[in-house]
Chain A
């Protein structure tokens, strides 16, 4: 049995591991994919104190190595359930069951999908969720961005420098994102706004060839694009834990700044918690807070 099991090896989970080891607790970190979480996709982080410029990969690797050096154990398995047996918690993965006195859920979030047929199959063949990662492959081609928030607008601006033509598709006629970015986009000759519209169909043989867009007025339009960048937000990865901890309407784990959930001995850290600012500093800060609460809890058992 471990003192603390941490689910997720993103910035929040890795920082939790560091704090827990420094508090002399035994620690198991479970990770479904690769250490580092979302941030490994960013070529340059510019807003984390001390590091003026650092790639997401380097950031993640440094924190991972720091946690490992302190003695945190890592297992690459996906947690599918938590069983709350009171003083003992069991974390079930796809292949094992692990026990601990306390659990910290640090599973972050993932890209929200459009929910259009063939979307999964065409990832990497025209569908992308990251303009800065995949934009370079669409040099001098036509692409579309779906979404109405800042990410979508910034993606469109980024792509306008690379692609021949950028369509920005949004289901309303106003954007949630910043006006200044909308204004810059309007000044670009190669950007076309397709408003009040939704993508309803992906046309592809082996790779994306065009998309079908449905306007609010009922009309449809086929737009030829080689790339479709989906920027319709992120969703917390809490689906497997809704039975043991309370989630809000959007699926975030309900907890205040102390990172404690409704379930005694189960804590939350990072982007999957109800909060206003989802950034590295807030994720890592949660790691410290969640561990301090977990240690208090364990010491009182």
Chain B
């Protein structure tokens, strides 16, 4: 599945109400490590039908970043049934990201 761009408006529907586990990638265009993480996040989205992967641009979505207390990017937050279950900050290899969803 493709990575879905999420904003304030569709956050509840796509993330909080998702019946799949969600990996939310908070990122920005000016952030180098975010660009390096992007292909990995896309790979997970392509390979894992059981996971929904979303991307949130923190420059456009300041309120979401603030609400979820994102203070450094890249920041990948795993949500299950609308609740945060794990997060990782900084560039991480794929295996580390998969650990967030319990693999």
Contacts and interface: CB of A to CB of B under 8 A. Distances in A.
Interface stretch (B13-21, B45-53, B87-95): B87-95
A143 B31 CA distance: 21
Interface in A107-165: 123-126, 128, 133-134, 137-138
Contacts of A134: 71-73
Contacts of A128: 71-72
A124 B36 contact: no
Contacts of B69: 125, 206-207
A209 to B, nearest CB: 12
Interface residues of B, number: 19
Nearest to A31: B93
Helix, strand, loop or mixed for chain B's interface?
loop
A240 interface: no
A259 B36 CA distance: 30
A57 B87 CA distance: 23
A43 B90 contact: no
A124 B75 CA distance: 8
B84 to A, nearest CB: 10
Contacts of A207: 69, 71
Contact of A41 (B32, B58, B65): B32
A43 B70 CA distance: 19
B32 A123 contact: no
B8 to A, nearest CB: 17
Given A123-B90, A137-B65, A34 B33 contact: yes
A40 interface: yes
Contacts of B90: 123-124
A239 interface: no
A76 B31 CA distance: 21
B36 A125 contact: no
Contact of A57 (B36, B73, B89): B36
A33 interface: yes
Contacts of B93: 33-34, 76
A40 B72 contact: no
A42 interface: yes
A125 B89 CA distance: 9
B36 A40 contact: yes
Interface residues of A, number: 28
A143 B73 CA distance: 18
Contacts of A43: 30-32
A13 interface: no
A227 B72 CA distance: 11
Contacts of B70: 124, 137
A224 B17 CA distance: 36
A43 B93 CA distance: 22
Given A34-B91, A124-B89, A40 B71 contact: no
Interface of B: 30-33, 35-36, 58, 65, 69-73, 75, 87, 89-91, 93
19 contacts: A34-B33, A36-B36, A42-B32, A43-B31, A55-B30, A124-B71, A124-B72, A124-B75, A125-B69, A125-B71, A128-B71, A128-B72, A133-B31, A133-B72, A137-B58, A137-B65, A137-B70, A207-B69, A226-B71
Given A123-B89, A128-B71, 15 more contacts: A33-B91, A33-B93, A36-B32, A36-B36, A40-B33, A40-B91, A43-B32, A57-B33, A124-B75, A124-B87, A125-B69, A128-B72, A133-B72, A138-B71, A227-B71
